[in-house]
Structure 1
């Protein structure tokens, strides 16, 4: 499993390597998969109190990277990057996969085969869910340091953005997944 990142800010947004996460803001105790998918698609932001922190979901080490499309190998294309929004429900299951909006990191001109390979792989990914950690007070939150120890952990649905870079090095395909 990957290292968890904890955030203890009032409004949660993670922007690094073109990745950000938006946790579900609904007040329902047990959100439905449809509501979690809506939240993942809409990108609602989680607002936290001073005594709360947030842990990003952990990706399963068995999650496979997309494969370089065979029909494009002979074209010796320059590196291509595809960006995906991946909606993850409060159980850690992928519930939505879509092309992310264009940005400085996500150019819209990659061949459709790269997007299709990326989406197909992302739909198979699994995660330990994101957690909202609620503590009795700020001091308990600070003592927990990157965990929910001593507080209540509440699984959260999130949307993460991944950059997937397809490249060829000496004629050999390579694929790098960045973000999350």
Structure 2
């Protein structure tokens, strides 16, 4: 897998040479810096559809979780994400429980803030820290777990990160 460059909420302790945070929960990058998302381990398991709910033949349900990942790639926080148009909070508690249990076992290669000598070196790196210094960063990502039954068979899709 490769580091994806999508938006994430990142926290970092600002240093004089580092980017400064506009808010405590947002990382602001300098012109000579880039950000690489954490890579999830291929062994990370998805939750299973709760067997007790299969017979109910429920319509699709979605659970959203905030997953905190530290600078070593370990999961430090798993919590329900706030409700949004993509994340309803009305799913049965069993869906939330299996999602939280799975997410707590996940491992990652950490997110990286790449610091380069200048903006041109950054442009040459193209989605990597090549030619710069990779500084591991803690991040919080939102994952969406969609539980559904298709043709009578349970399916769980994990979206996000």
- TM-score category, normalised to shorter length: over 0.9
SS of corresponding position for 2:129: coil
Find runs of 4+ consecutive structure 1 residues off by over 4 angstroms.
none
Cα separation, 2, equivalents of 1:64 and 1:137: 40
Q: For the residues of structure 2 that align with 1:98 and 1:82, how far apart are their CA atoms? A: 11
Contact 1:130–1:156 (CA<8 Å) still a contact in 2?
A: yes
Cα distance in 2 for residues equivalent to 1:43 and 1:63: 29
Describe the superposition over 1:70-109 as per-residue Cα deviations: whole angstroms up to 9, x where unpaired.
Answer: 1100000000000000000000000000000000000110
> Gaps spanning 5+ residues in structure 1: where?
8-13, 15-20, 29-41
Please give the per-residue CA displacement for 1:111-149, whole angstroms capped at 9, x wherever unaligned.
000000000000000000000000000000000000000
SS at match of 2:94: helix
- Other-structure match for 2:3: 4
Aligned partner of 1:23 in structure 2 is 10
* TM-score (norm: length of structure 1): 0.83
Residue 74 (1) aligns with residue 55 (2)? yes
Output the TM-score relative to the length of structure 2: 0.92
Q: How many residues align?
A: 154
Deviation at 1:27, TM superposition (A): 3.0
